[in-house]
Chains A and B, each alone.
Chain A
Amino acid sequence: MKPLIANIIMFVSVALLPWWAVAAVGVVLLFMIRSFYEIIVWGLVADLLYGIPVEAWYQISFVMTIGATALVVITDAIKINLRIYS
């Protein structure tokens, strides 16, 4: 049930919130739910909705997917060192 609600929250966030707020919501959900890798899919959805190849970023149009992946890696690394997750 929790992952379902989390995915609905992510869908609404991607559709309505600025990208930095979506990132903040994603970080909170990553800490609340174990292995919430669906956030990478939501990053991809955001790129499919709003993304264009950007000259300044070497024509990459998947910036938010890459960002979501980085968030997963970073939060996993932090969780390993937090007592409440052991």
Chain B
Amino acid sequence: MVVVSVFLLGLSHLSGITRIFSQGATSLATPVWRAEAYLGELGNDVAMAVRSKESLIAENKALREELASVKIGLLSRDLLLNENRELKERLGRYDSNPAGLLAAVLVKPRRSPYDTLVIDVGSRHGVDVGDLVGAHGDLLIGTIERAMETTSLVRLFSSPGEEIEVTVGSSNIAALAVGAGGGNFRLEIPRGVDITEGDIISFPSISTTIAGVVERIQVEPNDPFQTILFKSPINTNELKWVEVIDHTERDLQGIVDEETRDDAIEGEDVVTDEQ
């Protein structure tokens, strides 16, 4: 045990060697992951083929009804989105939501205790360490931790102990959320702040980027703070596709490194309250 500990301590300080071994291990494992994804799809197709006609008709009907109500919701959302964009343009700020590089998820977070994903794009496709990873358009879920040649390891924001800046509710109260693993987060805000279950938690940015939805609020009688438990609205263990966004193109004041944020604050195009 002592020998192993000393070996690991040495290895942790030799990041170059660790990276080489990591690339080698990933090269061996990638064909297995791709085969797993292919067989998984094949299995789903076979399962669909043997299901009874009645159950398929019932599911089809339920999905059509759900689609109809979602379409109506989307219409309202599109109207609000356009209004939001026009208002920002009048204030001289523009939405910078660059299109991302689509990537398939090869390994889901449940595979390890680290809350990481493996995706099928890497440095060969222009992916770089620090790039942001999103899902379903408006959701950011993590950053690129390691970019191998054809695959990349994604660190999710909900990784245990990971801290991210967020804004809470309609009053956009700034707070620091801490990852609790599995898409879950916790944060503490003063007790007087008005917040309810279902409120949106978002990243501080000119663009709307959802971090999660409030699930539970814990208040102790003598505690001046309330603990908010929130969860990403998507189940990262069911993700099939994500988008990789070049971090140099993304206008995020809370997520990017401090140097980039400080440069943005010092820039002339920042809109202040006085303006």
Interface on A for B, CB 8 Å cutoff?
A: 11-12, 14-19, 40, 45-46, 48-52, 54-57, 60-66, 69-70, 73
Contact = CB atoms under 8 A, between A and B. Distances in A.
Given A51-B114, A56-B161, A63-B114, A73 B25 contact: no
B113 A64 contact: yes
B161 A16 contact: no
A39 B145 CA distance: 26
A interface: dominant SS? helix
Contact of B32 (A15, A51, A57, A60): A15
B159 interface: yes
Contact of A66 (B8, B145, B163): B8
A54 B160 contact: yes
B160 A49 contact: no
Interface string B1-34: 1001100100110000010011001101100110
B177 interface: no
B216 interface: no
B116 A50 contact: yes
A22 to B, nearest CB: 9
Interface in B105-143: 107, 110-114, 116, 118
A50 B118 contact: yes
B161 A19 contact: no
Given A12-B32, A54-B161, A69-B1, A45 B25 contact: yes
B231 interface: no
Interface residues of B, number: 34
Give the most central of B1, B4, B5: most A CB within 10 Å: B4
Contacts of A69: 1, 4
Contact of A52 (B26, B110, B114): B114
B213 interface: no
Contact of B160 (A40, A56, A66): A56
Given A40-B4, A62-B11, A62-B12, A50 B159 contact: no
A61 B161 contact: no
Contacts of A60: 12
A54 B114 CA distance: 7
Contact of B113 (A15, A49, A55, A63): A63
Interface string B142-183: 000110000001010001111100000000000000010000
Contacts of A11: 28
A64 to B, nearest CB: 7
A51 B107 CA distance: 13
Contacts of B41: none
Nearest to A46: B112
Given A51-B116, A61-B114, 6 more contacts: A19-B111, A48-B25, A51-B114, A52-B153, A52-B159, A56-B179
B26 A49 contact: yes
A72 B1 CA distance: 9
Nearest to B32: A15
B153 A50 contact: yes
A19 B111 CA distance: 6
Contact of A49 (B25, B36, B179): B25
A36 to B, nearest CB: 15
A50 B108 CA distance: 10
